[in-house]
Amino acid sequence: MARTSPCLLFLILLACAPSKKLQKVLGHAETQFQDHIGLFVYEPETRKTIVDYNSEKYFTPASNTKIFTLLSSLHLIGDSIPALRYVAKEDSLIFWGTGDPSFLYPKVYQDGKVYHFLKGQPLPLYFSTSNFCQDHFGPGWAWDDYNYSYSPERSPFPVYGNNLMVSDSTGQSIKVSPALFRDSLEVLEAKGNGSRLHRGLNDNTIKFYKGEGHNGFAREVPFHVTPPTITALLKDTLKRDITWIEKPMPPGAQTLYGIPSDSLYKVMMQESDNFIAEQLLQMCAGILSDSLKSTVAIDYAKSHFLFDLPDQPHWVDGSGLSRYNLFTPRSIVRVWEKILAVAPRERLFQILAIGGKAGTIKNYYKSTPPYIYGKTGTLSNNHCLSGFLITKKGKLFIFSFMNNNYTTSTDEIKKNMESVLFEIHERY
């Protein structure tokens, strides 16, 4: 039996009443893809629901979880990121990490403030990790993702994004950055043309399998974080002695502020940076308490910012790497409405992915001017997009479009979503 394209069926059905026929379009797509679809479209100015399809059902949000992390950060973190905490004594300076992910992280803006502060200290430096109070990995993360750059370990004082780089541009000389890990690399010959990199599960031994006909390679891989490793990286980077101690942070510890907060939010939301999201949630916890523990921030946000959602979220991490997260489309729309109340549209739209222009939807939802601003979320067999839709008549809609448990290609799901959202844009 020939299959009717959901995109074609959508255009046929919407030739009449769009609000009613859309239910049939989405129902047909669910039947064809054998998945679960939820869509909620809402106009905040009139408080009118435009589309409601399974909006009360829970879905795995993937990186739509970062929308919740953004709301928490906007409420708790000021205009500048708290970069480190410190106590200066007569004979020493003791410092603690805040979870700030930006230190020497090449994907974000650098102002050098932390580097020069530590480098220029006349006093001996002591580094404590006593305020880090959680596992390096979040609950429900896939354990074998530890070897991939999208899943760095959480830590109190990240350096280089907690990733190392192995590169070989000439096919002859293999480079490791940071250089501290150079002696941990073992080069092995491998059959076939492909080259691959593998790090030990609980250490930083790195095996580079060099394939036949190898002529270039570059890959990031997370390094395993321990207090001695962080200390050694700081010593190597700052070119000065640093001693690791386990000393509790006193209530009167001072705060050094670093880069503008929006510079982190933009990378998190446009590029879906998992590492930044996890560290931001830790930072929120550090502002609320003396502990870098994500559940502190989650519990606070649920009781102070999210208590009035249509459906209470099951929220366990900052990035959405965990499949334990469960949100409903109508609750995500409500969170966006809360975000819009604390971040003006002119500011907010600058940090979001933009259809046809920036971030994870750069190659989708193309239009001049853009009509989609938002956040994607993708795990195997799951893809979501939530954010803002500007109609042809200039109306602002908030939407959440969630697709779970499909076995077809994600590209096919995206095409169906694009046809639905574009038609809403055109008809309103």
What SS3 class is residue 143?
Answer: helix
Nearest to 62 by CA among 327, 418, 266: 327
Asked if residue 1 is part of any domain, the answer here is no
What SS3 class is residue 352?
Answer: coil
DSSP tag of 139:
T
Whole-Å CA distances, 218 to 165, 170, 308, 338, 400: 7, 11, 47, 41, 36
Q: How many CB atoms lie within 10 A of CB 183?
A: 10
Quote the domain boundaries for residue 420: 6-73+266-427
Last residue of a domain, one of 230, 258, 286: 258
Q: 171: left (phi > 0), else alpha (psi -120 to 50), else beta?
A: left
Q: How many CB atoms lie within 10 A of CB 394?
A: 7
What are 212's two structure tokens?
Answer: 């036949």
Residues in the chain with pLDDT values less than 70: 1-18, 170-172, 213-214
- pLDDT for the residue numbered 169: 73
In angstroms, the CA 42 to CA 330 distance is 9
> Considering just the CA atoms, what is the radius of gyration of the chain in Å?
23
In angstroms, the CA 407 to CA 285 distance is 38
Nearest to 419 by CA among 404, 401, 407, 406: 401
- Domain co-membership, 67 together with 96: no
CATH number at residue 382: 3.40.710.10
Which residue type does 291 have?
S
Q: Is the pTM of this model over 0.85?
A: yes
Whole-Å CA distances, 417 to 9, 30, 39, 48: 13, 12, 10, 21
Sheet (strand 242-245) strand order? 242-245, 125-128, 93-97, 80-88, 254-260
- Domain co-membership, 238 together with 309: no
Asked if residue 242 is part of any domain, the answer here is yes
Last residue of a domain, one of 220, 235, 258: 258
Contact status, residue 220 vs residue 105, Cβ threshold 8 Å: no
- pLDDT for the residue numbered 2: 47
Asked if residue 79 is part of any domain, the answer here is no
Asked if residue 78 is part of any domain, the answer here is no
CA-based torsion, 354, 112, 259, 325: positive or negative: positive
pLDDT of 105-148, one tens digit each? 999 999 999 999 999 999 999 999 999 999 999 999 999 999 99
Contact status, residue 82 vs residue 75, Cβ threshold 8 Å: no
In the chain, how many domains are there? 2
In angstroms, the CA 103 to CA 234 distance is 10
- Domain co-membership, 205 together with 167: yes
- Domain co-membership, 421 together with 304: yes
In angstroms, the CA 257 to CA 260 distance is 9
Asked if residue 225 is part of any domain, the answer here is yes
CA-based torsion, 141, 147, 149, 155: positive or negative: positive
- Domain co-membership, 369 together with 420: yes
- pLDDT for the residue numbered 17: 55
What are 213's two structure tokens?
Answer: 């006909």
- Domain co-membership, 275 together with 252: no
- pLDDT for the residue numbered 173: 80
What SS3 class is residue 22?
Answer: helix
Last residue of a domain, one of 258, 293, 318: 258
In angstroms, the CA 40 to CA 34 distance is 20
No. of helices (H) and no. of strands (E), the chain: 11, 17
pLDDT of 8-28, one tens digit each? 555 554 444 567 778 889 999
In angstroms, the CA 128 to CA 261 distance is 24
